Amino acid sequence: MFVDKVKVYIKAGDGGNGMVAFRREKFVPEGGPAGGDGGKGADIILEVDEGLRTLMDFRYQKHFKAKAGENGRPKNQHGKNAEDLVIKVPPGTTITDDDTKEVIADLTEHGERSIVAKGGRGGRGNTRFATPANPAPELSEKGEPAEERYINLELKVLADVGLVGFPSVGKSTLLSVVSAAKPKIADYHFTTLNPNLGVVAVDDGRSFVLADLPGLIEGAHEGVGLGHQFLRHIERTKVIIHVIDMSGLEGRDPLEDFEKINDELKQYNLRLLERPQIIMANKMDMPDAEDNFEQFKEKVPDNYKVFPVSALTKKGLKEMIREVADLVDNTSEFPLYDEEENKERVVYRFEKKEDPFSISRDVDGAFVLSGPEIERAFKMTDMTRDESIRRFSRKMRHMGIDEALRKKGAQHGDTIRLLDFEFEFIE
């Protein structure tokens, strides 16, 4: 089965917890703190493997959780860092964040990597908190929570040339004739349900990759028929071969077919029309094909090259394949995303810092604290130790939370809620 789009959940490894420990050696009085730091959690990395051709593996496993870092040890021993989780994907995979729709990476070359979720750093042991005023702190940090999110993996096949056209115009037949590929061929619509790739060898020693893609119908840009399942795969091609049935056996007009397909490409992505397009007037061995071809040539715009071809008898194929190879050699790749054009340029701009916390009221009257910075600090605090709780209280005061609660009307004894933890506001 060919799978070209999946949604998966990923969670990197949390950092290991720091440790509270003290040196206890014979003849070493007041040895001091000796708690080690926790290890770093594992990152989740996507890596291109050119041996893969589909996202089939993700159909059966859609949740990936990396290992957490090891906790700190006594004698100032650092916890072991977790080994990164590397997930293999086929070339041509685009990764986007499911919530923001932001493109995280576009992986095309073998061995290319992208970190899609970063592991948390390890918490600090009590050795890190020793000061002249407090030389033996009973205080440590928990490991930093790791990134977790849903991502979309979308495969867009890597081919130099793509075949477009209505169903049953001869695209699969052409691929089978000019390459060693064995696509399914039959006399009914939508025989091709998945992209088929073949390497075309030109008689002068050159070669290029040709993609036979599922047939288009009117309304494909809105998802009609195979819709987007087809159109996403044409985005990476350099050259488009527009296959048109000149026999007219199905009662369609060749010029209307040509205009409808180009309109679908335009509606889906205007930049698809920037690609060089060759018109293959197919099935010229059929009756009435010559008359239809002459009428078509008179009406089609002059900037399109039209090749009368019979994929069945191979007549006219050599000339067209040579022209396609020339276009592939002389056409640069089209960037999928605008930012790729300017990825070498760094732009510095002022961005307002996100508020470290926000305060709201719950239905029971409790004040609810939320925000990435305060929640992260809370998760890294060991609430089983009084000294850690006092440090967290000082941090909230320095962040301005006490003053903000007073402005919101908080009074002595009111309930403050942070995630699943509740405490009282004390003046």
Give the tens place of pLDDT for each residue, 264-279: 778 777 577 788 888 8
Residues that constitute the known binding site for Mg(2+)? 172, 192
Task: Report the candidate in 222, 224, 208 with the shortest Cα–Cα distance to residue 167.
Answer: 224
**1-155 against 161-335: fold identical:** no
Q: What is the structure's pLDDT at 145?
A: 94
Band of pLDDT at residue 347, cut at 50, 70 and 90:
low
pLDDT digits (tens, 9 = 90+) for 11-21: 999 999 999 99
Q: 358-361 and 367-370 as β-strands: parallel, antiparallel, unpaired? A: antiparallel
Q: Which residue has the tokens 């009221």?
A: 361
Greater pLDDT, 180 or 265: 265
Band of pLDDT at residue 163, cut at 50, 70 and 90:
confident
Band of pLDDT at residue 338, cut at 50, 70 and 90:
low
Question: What are the sequence ranges of the domains in the chain?
Answer: 1-155, 161-335, 358-424
Residues that constitute the known binding site for GTP? 165-172, 190-194, 212-215, 282-285, 310-312
Is the Cβ–Cβ distance between 6 and 55 less than 8 Å?
A: yes
| Domain 1-155 -> CATH class | mainly beta
Band of pLDDT at residue 224, cut at 50, 70 and 90:
very low
Q: 55-64, 269-278, 329-338 — which is least confidently predicted? A: 329-338
Average pLDDT over residues 140-165: 88
Residues sharing a CB contact under 8 Å with residue 362, sequence separation 6 or more, in sequence order = 368, 417
Helix residue ranges, H only, 143-189:
171-178
Q: How many C-alpha atoms does 127 have within 13 Å on its Cβ side?
A: 19
Would you say residue 84 has pLDDT above 90?
Answer: yes
Would you say residue 177 has pLDDT above 50?
Answer: yes
Is the Cβ–Cβ distance between 370 and 417 less than 8 Å?
A: no
Band of pLDDT at residue 1, cut at 50, 70 and 90:
very low
Residues that constitute the known binding site? 165-172, 190-194, 212-215, 282-285, 310-312
Looking at the DSSP bridge assignments, the partners of residue 7 are: 152
What mean pLDDT, rounded, does the chain reach? 83
Assigned superfamily of 161-335: P-loop containing nucleotide triphosphate hydrolases (3.40.50.300)
Would you say residue 340 has pLDDT above 50?
Answer: no
pLDDT digits (tens, 9 = 90+) for 88-139: 998 888 899 999 888 898 888 899 999 999 999 999 999 999 999 888 899 9
Q: Which residue has the tokens 């989740």?
A: 44
pLDDT digits (tens, 9 = 90+) for 227-244: 455 566 677 788 888 888
Please tell me the CATH code under which domain 358-424 is placed.
Answer: 3.30.300.350
Is the Cβ–Cβ distance between 315 and 309 less than 8 Å?
A: yes
Helix residue ranges, H only, 222-360:
227-231, 254-268, 289-299, 317-330, 338-341
Band of pLDDT at residue 207, cut at 50, 70 and 90:
confident
Q: What is the structure's pLDDT at 63?
A: 94
Band of pLDDT at residue 67, cut at 50, 70 and 90:
very high
Q: 76-90, 124-138, 291-305, 372-386 — which is least confidently predicted? A: 291-305
Q: What is the structure's pLDDT at 189?
A: 44
Band of pLDDT at residue 37, cut at 50, 70 and 90:
very high
Greater pLDDT, 140 or 198: 140
Q: What is the structure's pLDDT at 38?
A: 96
Q: What is the structure's pLDDT at 290?
A: 86
Is the Cβ–Cβ distance between 15 and 144 less than 8 Å?
A: yes
Average pLDDT over residues 195-199: 75
Band of pLDDT at residue 193, cut at 50, 70 and 90:
low
Q: What is the structure's pLDDT at 151?
A: 94
Greater pLDDT, 352 or 196: 196
